[in-house]
Amino acid sequence: MYPLHRYRSLADLTTAEEEALLSLGDAELIFSPRDTIRSQGDAVAGFYLHIGGWVASSIMLPDGARLIQKIHLPGDMLGTPSMVLARAADTLTAITEAVVAFVPFERLGAIYIGLPRLAALFAVAIQAERLALMDTLAVTGRASAKQQVACLLLDLHARLTPLGLVEDDGFELPLSQEVIGDLAGLTAVHVNRKLREMREAGLIGREGARVRILDLARLRALSPITPRQLQVQPAWLPPASFAGSDGHRKAQLERSRP
């Protein structure tokens, strides 16, 4: 089932809006680690709801090098930047076993007609993603290596917490040092050195693939990014009553299905 925490954190969803989100995707698809969900250059006809597991978004550069741009977690929508393109801009790859559901663009379009407030929340969620990218770009190449690794760990901690995947400030980190280096703009050797320094300084603990933040306050103080507090129920959102009758809404959504 598609996690709704991102949208619930932005507004109080109506029953109709929750049902629309939960029924938006096709049947669930399961991918094994390292499986490709969609390749760069594939024809684009929709996007994916991210239901379970970890997924990487990457771009292949002209020289053949792969650049990992984002790690996706459940509740994300995968492949949405390619909505403005005929061919996918990135490759989506399962890091762990991953569960997704495909959403044709026509079905998304029906949401804009039948449930405009939910459609507005899609726009808000996309802007939140853009804000996160702005923060990442602000520190890449300017912050120290330790600060960049700290930012990554804090971001994962914050995104995994509402999924119930953080216990005693610890979480599974199924990322190789090469992948962490890609995300932070560092070499794998540099990542290894900074993680070791953080362990020795009592900032984090590590046992296998599990990382535990031992001093969250100190780690946050190390990050050059000020935590963002998103608006809840912005005043400009259309009222939920604009969604129309249940019968009209269901007809709109059903017409979008094959």
Cα separation, 170 vs 157, whole angstroms = 8
Q: What is the pLDDT along the chain (258 residues), one digit of tens a residue?
A: 999 999 999 999 999 999 999 999 999 999 999 999 999 999 999 999 999 999 999 999 888 888 898 999 999 999 999 999 999 999 999 999 999 999 999 999 999 999 999 999 999 998 988 888 888 887 776 788 889 899 999 999 999 999 999 999 999 999 999 999 888 888 889 899 999 999 999 999 999 899 999 999 999 999 888 877 888 888 888 888 544 444 445 545 555 565
**Domain edges within the chain:** 1-139, 143-232
Contact (Cβ atoms closer than 8 angstroms) between residue 172 and residue 210: yes
Position 131: which residue type?
L
CATH number of 143-232: 1.10.10.10
- CATH fold of 1-139, please? Jelly Rolls (2.60.120)
Predicted TM-score (pTM) of the model is: 0.87
Q: How many other CB atoms are found less than 10 A from the CB of residue 207?
A: 8
Query: Whole-angstrom distance between the N-terminal and C-terminal Cα of the chain?
Result: 21
Pairwise CA distance, residues 119 & 251, whole Å? 17
H or E element that contains 170: strand 170-172
